[in-house]
Every structure is written in structure tokens, then in C-alpha cells.
Amino acid sequence: MITKLYKKYIYKARLRNAFVVADIVLTFKKGNTTVKRYPAIAATHEKDDYLEYVFYLPQGLNPKNMLEKEYIFNQTFGQSYDLTGDGLKYSLKIFTKQDESIKIYNDTEIKACLKGGLPIIAGYDHFNKLVSYNMVTDPHLLIAGETGSGKSVMLRVILTTLLIHKRRMIDFYLADMKRTEFHLFRNCEGVQQVITDKKKLKKAVLAIHKELETRGDLLDEHGLEHIDEYNKIKGIDKKKYILLCIDEVALLRKETATMDKIEDISTQGRALGIFLILSMQRPDAKILDGQLKSNLTVRYAFRHADLINSNITLGSGNNVDASKINKAEKGKFYMRHEVIKQLQAPYLSLEHAKELLEPIKHVPIEDPHENEFDVEVTDLTLPGSEDDE
Ligand SMILES: Nc1ncnc2c1ncn2[C@@H]1O[C@H](COP(=O)(O)OP(=O)(O)OP(=O)(O)O)[C@@H](O)[C@H]1O
Ligand SMILES: [Mg+2]
């Protein structure tokens, strides 16, 4: 087995070799001798799932000379690398965690999967095709699976994708009952609240429920069936979609008032553009009792404890058993959406997600009265995204 340390040196040697074979070099005369100067590898950073090499081009070498030869990195490291930078400084990340079953989050493949409505990323099928579905037509999703099976990474993939590409259509309410995951979404454009305590969640759910009623009244008034039709009325104040996502909803077992409202949202949300994504380790019968479970029509079942639990999530009589997923097969799951299929979720590390979200982060607004010498913030225009909708 190749140790991590060994890998670090092998890849460094391969990178040096790549510069040589692709002729990424500055050649000049010094007296009678010809000098060749290759890019200098200035730093190596080891992360959980990638090795990063920071290198500098020699001054005088046209960056085009290297960018035109980027194919050499593909030939050397396969698909599992990412090159960023400009001018003289570059960063090459080589994803070391990748084995045949792991699919690193790839923005190009994600973009190709984003047609129509609100695309929710699922995973790669047996043909290596990335599958997604439209939340506007299938409004509520349940993600269930044992600890460490890949639920939170899946949520990171879904939410990061929506935030990068669809944030102007959605108000996000993100509740992280374990306080470990959603901090990275704080201050992102589109994110109304990141909630980590039950009281605040109750408040947010009540507010969303009130909006549910307001929207219901609006549709009644106009004799319409769906919020999308209402939004087509000329001159109207458009209603965005609302997404309430709760990681580890089972921790709300005793919050009956909150859960009742969530159940209402699951019943009426489809027509009103208010959608749910709920995750839980065990498909908890008490939480999923009755209406809520049947309204969560799309299900992602990661590794389950046993067939009984698998059947609670996926339904019985389908010859599928999510407890047969091996513990080591992180990110593998069954998706129930029309039919049941086995998929592999893309892997998006925390560092990678942070990088992707960086351009859509607000600068947190300070209280202008806190310091009388504060400069008034007048321009809060955020950098847009070309790909937005
Ligand atoms: N799609 C994936 N591809 C490869 N590895 C993954 C994938 N999803 C998760 N993993 C690995 O499994 C680990 C645990 O995943 P994750 O945190 O999503 O589990 P979880 O189901 O949310 O667990 P818990 O219920 O304890 O919160 C990750 O840190 C990562 O190393
Ligand atoms: Mg988790």
C-alpha cells in the first residue's frame, strides 16, 4: 500500500517530470551557456483528501505556455486534479482520496446536470451518468442512513450546488441540529438563516408556516394552482422558492409543535413553492409517522442497520436492501424516485465547498453605531454568477 508520505514525494517527482516532458520551461542564454529554468515548487500542503502543490513560473515565461499544456496534468494525474491560479503563482490539487468508487465533485459535470426547475443532485449511476431530479415537481426529500454513511456530504453537495447556481430563486433556511455541518453556508447570498438550536428553529418554522398561509390565500384570491403561475402575473412581487433543510431531524422528536408545522409544510408546500430536505440516521417511526413520511416522496437510503430499517425508508417488496451496502462504501445509496436505483454520491470536501462558496459570501454587516468612526457601507452589491439560472 502506498503511504501518504510516499505519495507526497511520488507526486512531486511526477509534477517535476510533467514540467520537463511538456517543456514548460524558460530558456535563455547566459554567456555561452543555455540555461533552462523550470517552475519552482514552493510549498506542499497535505489535506484529508488532496495534496496541494503551490508552484511559481519563472519570471519571463508566458503563462500561456503552461496553460496550453494543461493536458500534461491530465495525462499525469488522471481526472483527479484541479489547477488554479494566474500570472506566476499556481496551485495544483491532486485528489488522493479517489479510488474507483469515489467520484470527486466536478463542477463541469454538475453544470451539465442542471437543466430546468430546481435540480437536486443525486449521484452517479452504473453508466457513470450523474443523476438529478427537479424539486419543483418532487418537492420533499428524505435522506436516511447510519452514522458515517454520507448524509451530510450529500447535503453539502446539494446545497452548494443550489447556492452556486440557483440562489436567486431560493430563500434557504438551514438547520443543523448537530452543529457540525452548516457553518460553511453562513453569510452566503440566499441563506436567510443557519439555525443550530431548537427554539430558533421553531420560530423559523412558524414564520415559514405563516408564509405558507399567505401564499395559499394569494393563490385562492387569483384562482391559481401553483406559485409559478402567480409569479408570471405582470408587475407582481415575485415569491421565491423556500427551502427548509434539516440535518438530523430525529433530534426534534420531542418538538411536537415544530414537527406538526413541518408536516403541514410537507402537505401543502408543493403548490406553494416551499420545499423540505430532511436527514436522519434511522428512519424514525415516530417522526415519520403518518403524513410526513408519505409526503417525502423522494428518498435517498445510504447504508442502513438492517432490512427492517431499509424497508421503512425505501418501502418493502422491492428486493432492495440498504443494509447490504458495505460500511466502507461511503456515499453509496439507493434513490427512490419513480423507481429505485443504486447511485454513488459525488464527494465534496469541506475545503472544496468553502472555495466554491467564497465568491458568494457577504461581508457580515457590522452594527454601524457600534463605532462612530465606522465608514458607512453603501454598496452591498454582491458579485453575480454567470451561471445563475
Ligand atoms: N460521497 C462520498 N464519497 C466518498 N466518501 C464519502 C462520501 N460521503 C461521505 N464520505 C466519507 O464518509 C465520511 C462521513 O460522511 P458524512 O459526514 O456525510 O456521514 P453522515 O452520514 O452525515 O454521518 P452522521 O450521521 O454521523 O452525521 C466523510 O467524512 C467522508 O470521509
Ligand atoms: Mg452527518
pLDDT for position 86 = 84
When pLDDT is averaged across residues 122-131 and rounded to a whole number, the result is 92
382 located within any domain: no
| Atom 11 in ligand 1: residue holding the nearest Cα | 330
pLDDT for position 177 = 86
How many angstroms separate the CA atoms of 335 and 154, rounded?
A: 12
Looking at the fold, whether 181 and 322 belong to one and the same domain comes out as: yes
Looking at the fold, whether 75 and 152 belong to one and the same domain comes out as: no
Between the CA of residue 200 and those of 114, 183, 339, what are the distances in Å? 32, 15, 37
- 150 CB near ligand 1 (under 6 Å): yes
Looking at the fold, whether 251 and 160 belong to one and the same domain comes out as: yes
Looking at the fold, whether 110 and 39 belong to one and the same domain comes out as: no
pLDDT digits (tens, 9 = 90+) for 36-73: 999 999 999 988 778 899 999 999 999 998 888 888 88
Distance (Å) from CA 252 to ligand 1 centroid: 22
pLDDT for position 380 = 34
Q: Which amino acid is at 222?
A: H
When pLDDT is averaged across residues 259-276 and rounded to a whole number, the result is 96
Distance (Å) from CA 318 to ligand 2 centroid: 27
pLDDT digits (tens, 9 = 90+) for 67-111: 888 888 878 886 567 788 888 999 998 876 555 678 999 989 999
- 327 CB near ligand 1 (under 6 Å): no
* C-alpha cell recorded at residue 52: 496541494
pLDDT digits (tens, 9 = 90+) for 4-38: 667 788 889 999 999 999 999 999 999 999 999 99
- 102 CB near ligand 1 (under 6 Å): yes
227 close to 156: Cβ distance less than 8 angstroms: no
Domain that holds residue 51: 4-95
Looking at the fold, whether 150 and 124 belong to one and the same domain comes out as: yes
User: Higher-confidence residue: 5 or 283?
Assistant: 283
pLDDT digits (tens, 9 = 90+) for 149-183: 999 999 999 999 999 999 999 999 999 988 888 99
Query: Which residue from 183, 330, 351 has its CB within 8 A of the most atoms of ligand 1, so it is best to mutate?
Result: 330
What is the CB neighbour count within 10 angstroms for residue 279? 23
- 215 CB near ligand 1 (under 6 Å): no
- 147 CB near ligand 1 (under 6 Å): yes
| Atom 31 in ligand 1: residue holding the nearest Cα | 330
224 located within any domain: yes
**Domain edge (last residue) among 73, 95, 117:** 95
**Domain edge (last residue) among 74, 95, 116:** 95
**pLDDT over 50 at 386, yes or no:** no
For residue 98, give the ligand nearest its CA: 1
Looking at the fold, whether 128 and 33 belong to one and the same domain comes out as: no
194 located within any domain: yes
373 located within any domain: no
pLDDT for position 378 = 33
Looking at the fold, whether 112 and 87 belong to one and the same domain comes out as: no
Q: Which atom of ligand 1 lies nearest, measured to the CA of 302?
A: 21
- 331 CB near ligand 1 (under 6 Å): yes
We report the CATH number of the domain holding residue 203 as 3.40.50.300
Looking at the fold, whether 120 and 150 belong to one and the same domain comes out as: yes
Considering all CA atoms of the chain, what is the largest pairwise distance in Å, rounded to the nearest integer?
88
53 close to 41: Cβ distance less than 8 angstroms: yes
Looking at the fold, whether 91 and 108 belong to one and the same domain comes out as: no
Looking at the fold, whether 208 and 264 belong to one and the same domain comes out as: yes
Residues sharing a CB contact under 8 Å with residue 27, sequence separation 6 or more, in sequence order: 34, 35, 36, 37
326 located within any domain: yes
- 219 CB near ligand 1 (under 6 Å): no
Model confidence pTM above 0.85 = no
Distance (Å) from CA 15 to ligand 1 centroid: 30
344 located within any domain: yes
- 281 CB near ligand 1 (under 6 Å): yes
DSSP sequence for 262-324? HHHHHHHHHHHTEEEEEEESS--TTTTTTHHHHH--EEEE-S-SSHHHHHHHH-SSSS--GGG
250 located within any domain: yes
Neighbours of ion ligand 2 (CB under 5 A): 151-152
pLDDT for position 344 = 96
Confidence of residue 121 (pLDDT cuts 50, 70, 90): very high
How many domains does the chain fold into?
Answer: 2
171 located within any domain: yes
**Domain edge (last residue) among 95, 129, 154:** 95
User: Higher-confidence residue: 253 or 385?
Assistant: 253
Task: Sort residue 87 into left (φ over 0), alpha (ψ -120 to 50) or beta.
Answer: left
Q: Which of 1-5, 89-93, 273-277 has the highest mean pLDDT?
A: 273-277
**pLDDT over 80 at 3, yes or no:** no
- 145 CB near ligand 1 (under 6 Å): yes
Looking at the fold, whether 82 and 213 belong to one and the same domain comes out as: no
Looking at the fold, whether 45 and 85 belong to one and the same domain comes out as: yes
